[in-house]
Structure formats: structure tokens, C-alpha cells
Amino acid sequence: MNLLSALRRGPWSARLLWLAAGVVLGLGLAAALVALSWGWPRLVGPGPALPEAQVARLEALGRQALETEDIPVAALLVYRGEVIGAGHNTVRAHHDAGGHAEIQAISEALRRYGEPEFFKLERGEMELITTFEPCPMCQGAIAMYGIGKVTYLGSKPLGRHLELEQARLRYLWTRRWVRPEDLQQRLFELHPSWPKGAKAP
């Protein structure tokens, strides 16, 4: 049975078909992501050592996290050799779910330049250096802000990669799309810089 004939059989058969296809695609994608994120770095091995000044800065930042019993992860955002943002974990200190070192470093750079100027920087010359392999939340921030290169010192074990991919699949499985669909569009249109007639990105 091809896809078109399945769709003609009615909504339930079509939904089941798409569900099965989604499960197969999701499992395949999860396996590919684990292989890429965990296997590839171990295949090529670690690169050269960081400059001593950067290592010292990272260690000092990590020790700051320990003062509030936060997990001692530190990060630097470097642009053309200059540190433009730095951060360490502040989840416990600030009761902030987004208080991860990588997000703190990006946020400091945003405050330093302002958002318009920050986005004018050459993304390919921007490097995020972190003491620990970024989590999915930080990976999302790195992607959203177009950071061109990521360098990490400590890597996550295979078991942790599998747990994170399981959580990603759980999110995809449990999310719901509800109405009214146009609420977000109406909110976008209230923003003073929103182009007239533009659709949601």
C-alpha cells in the first residue's frame, strides 16, 4: 500500500501510518545523533591543549560555581581571540533553570554588545569553549545564536547520551498542538518592529 492510498482510507489509518513512520524515523534519528555526538569525537580523538590563560580562566570560573554548590562547569565565548563572554553554572545560586555556563557566556556577550550588534559579528569566528560537553538546552542556544564552533574539555559518557536522546524522543511523543493557532501570530503583530503582514518564523 502506498502513502496516497493509505491517506484515502480515512483519518485513522493515515494517522497510524504517520505515527509508525514517525517512530521509525525518530528511532533512526536518535541512533544517528548518538553515533555522531558520542562516537565521532572518540573516533577522531581530542585536539590540542587550550592556551594556559584560557584553562586558568575556566578553572577560576568553575571554582566560583563551587562557592554556591553549583555543578562546576565553566564556559568562555571567544571572538577573534578575545573573550567576549564568560559564565559558570548558577542554577542553584539563582534558582534559574537556564543558568548553565554556556548560556551565561552567550548572555554576557549579548549584554556587552546589545542584540543588534551581537548579530553583526562574524559567526564563523565565534567559538564557545566549555569545560563539559553541552547539554541539549545549551546546544539549542548555541544553534539559535549561530555560534560557529564549539570546543569542550570533558565529554559525556554513552549512557548519558542515551538518556538525553530518550528525553528528546519523549518530548516529541508527548507534545500537543492545540488551538487557537493564531494566538502567537497576533502577539507577534503587536511587537513594534514586526513587519506588517509577516508570518511567524
Active-site residue list: 102
Cα–Cα dist 189/197, whole Å: 8
Cα–Cα dist 165/33, whole Å: 8
CB 7, CB 14: distance < 8 Å: yes
Cα–Cα dist 79/56, whole Å: 18
Three-point CA angle 156, 99, 37, nearest 5°: 25
